[in-house]
Amino acid sequence: MKPTLTFTTMMVWGFTATLLAQPSQSTNLNGATSRKVADARFSPDGKQLVTTSPDNTVRIWDVATGKALSVPLTQVVQARFSPDGQQVVTTSKDGTSQAWEVETRKLLSGLSNHLGTWQLVSFKYGDATKWSDVPDGQRHIKFLTPTHFTWVAYEVASGKVQSMAGGTYTLNDGAYTESIEYAGEGMTDYFGKKQSFTIRVEADKLRQTGQLSDGTKVEEMWRRLK
């Protein structure tokens, strides 16, 4: 049976075609104009669209009117809405990120260079006063994108996953809060709960300090892999 296009689908296609076809007169911080779109992402409520262009500028579009609001940023390679749609997080060519308020388009914070792949090297949990190294036969890997995180612990020899968790996070001036949206063995008690930490990046090391939702103290040192 041939699928039938819904009215909403046709509206979205029509808007996208118009967006890509019409020259944009919005300007970036340096006054340059951009007429092409490299990537487009809807806001969670579907009312706005954030686009990046080949000239590495960013714009936020109103889906209903097709009007664009300029974001004063250049050298951006990726832009995504936050889960609540209130912010746009951008990633630049140098790997750093910034958070922008959608309504005012003002810079909220400059984020540390925390994005990438990290390996846990040492830790202090609970009431421990001394650092412990991760055993040679284990790996704890963490992936951080501008909006999501995933970490997994596994045995090196067998490749068997011991535990894992992931979800979304917010970061504001070093205050890092994870919202666990999926969890494996040993982490299911934290599912759906927020975990609060502070993070600091120095060279190729990321230090994470805080506590889990059950009150367990956590202090970790991660080494950048990528």
Give the rounded percent of residues in the chain with a pLDDT score beyond 70: 77
Q: Which residues contact 64 (CB under 8 A, 6 or more apart)?
A: 47
Structural domains of the chain in order of their starting residue, each with its CATH number? 7-111 (2.120.10.30), 116-224 (2.40.128.280)
- Report whether pLDDT(14) > 70: no
The pLDDT assigned to 74 comes to: 61
Q: Which residues contact 178 (CB under 8 A, 6 or more apart)?
A: 149, 167, 168, 169, 194, 195, 197
- The Cα-based distances of 219 to 3, 46, 126, 166, 204 in angstroms read 54, 39, 9, 18, 17
The pLDDT assigned to 81 comes to: 86
Asked whether the beta carbons of 24 and 35 are under 8 A apart, the reply is yes
Give the rounded percent of residues in the chain with a pLDDT score beyond 90: 33
- Report whether pLDDT(207) > 90: yes
User: In the predicted model, what is the mean pLDDT of the chain?
Assistant: 78
Separation between Cα atoms, residue 108 and residue 28, nearest integer Å: 18
Using a 10 angstrom Cβ sphere, with 0-12 exposed, 13-18 middle and 19 or more buried, the burial of residue 139 is middle
How many other CB atoms are found less than 10 A from the CB of residue 4? 6
Q: What is the pLDDT of residues 127-162, one digit of tens each?
A: 999 999 999 999 999 999 888 999 999 999 999 999
DSSP of 149-174, one letter per residue?
EEEEEEETTT--EEEEEEEEEEEETT
Asked whether the beta carbons of 192 and 183 are under 8 A apart, the reply is no
Q: What is the pLDDT of residues 21-71, one digit of tens each?
A: 443 333 332 333 445 788 888 988 888 888 888 877 788 888 888 887 766
The pLDDT assigned to 4 comes to: 43
Instruction: Write down the residue that tokens 């994870």 correspond to.
Output: 178
How confident is residue 109, by pLDDT bands cut at 50, 70 and 90?
Answer: low
